[in-house]
Amino acid sequence: MLKYLVVFVYSNASWARMIKVPEDRASAEAVMLEHLGGSLESIYWEVETASAYVIADLPDSVSAAAVITAATKTGAFKEVHVHEVLNQDQLRDMIALAQSTDRVYRAPGQAAIERDA
89: domain CATH number? 3.30.70.60
The mean predicted confidence, pLDDT, of the chain is 91
pTM exceeding 0.95:
no
Number of domains in the chain: 1
Q: Which residues contact 68 (CB under 8 A, 6 or more apart)?
A: 80, 81, 82
CA distance 80 to 64: 11
Query: 7-55 pLDDT, tens per residue?
Result: 999 998 988 998 899 888 899 999 999 999 999 999 999 988 879 999 9
How far lies 57's CA from each of 6, 61, 83, 89, in Å?
10, 11, 11, 16
Q: What is the pLDDT of residue 20?
A: 93
User: Which structural domain range is residue 42 located in?
Assistant: 2-116
